[in-house]
Amino acid sequence: MQSILNPKNTAMKINPKGFYLVFRPDEYIESFEDVFTDVKSNLNDIKDIFENGVYAPEDIYGLYSSKSEALEDAKVLWDKILKTNKMNGFDNMITPDKKERFARFLNELIQISNKYQLAIPFVEEVVVLNSKYPKTIEYEIDEETGELMAFWDPD
């Protein structure tokens, strides 16, 4: 049986003190850092990656001892992800515009929280919508759980 990670079935030589992982695209990839992982320090980093739900070889595109080769493949995959997402109208990518809008939102949230003395102890997910297509966003509180939920019309 041929290995996806080593299709020629030859011995792979990896320096355990410094190698690189490139992950296959999936729905959770939001930034280039989700595709390319620089594993420099030790094998404990790899142990952490695999214990957090990565199942090689399905999730891993490749293991590399050369940073330049890993970056080259990761950039090709990242460009494909951006192109596919754009074609599908899916825009969850972290962009400078979204970072800036989120930073402004956070500053205003701090002011509102202090004004009304309301704190949000935990936020599981933040969705920064595409600013080209403004939406009306409404919030409701689930009376049973106390969760704050946001609603908006999809595209």
What residue spans define the domains of the chain?
A: 19-87, 96-151
Q: What is the pLDDT of residue 40?
A: 64
What was the pLDDT predicted at 55? 60
Structure tokens at 152: 């908006």
Question: For residue 7, is the peptide bond before it cis, meaning its omega torsion is within 30 degrees of 0?
Answer: no
Alpha-carbon gap, residue 128 to 98, rounded angstroms: 6
The confidence score (pLDDT) of residue 116 equals 96
Q: CB–CB of 35/79 below 8 Å?
A: no
Query: What's the Cα-to-Cα distance from 56 to each of 21, 22, 61, 89, rounded to whole Å?
Result: 11, 11, 9, 30
Residues of the chain with pLDDT under 70: 1-17, 27-28, 30, 40-50, 52-57, 85-94, 132-133, 154-155
The pLDDT score that the predictor gives to residue 1 is: 40
The pTM of this model reads: 0.45
**What is the chain's mean pLDDT, rounded?**
75
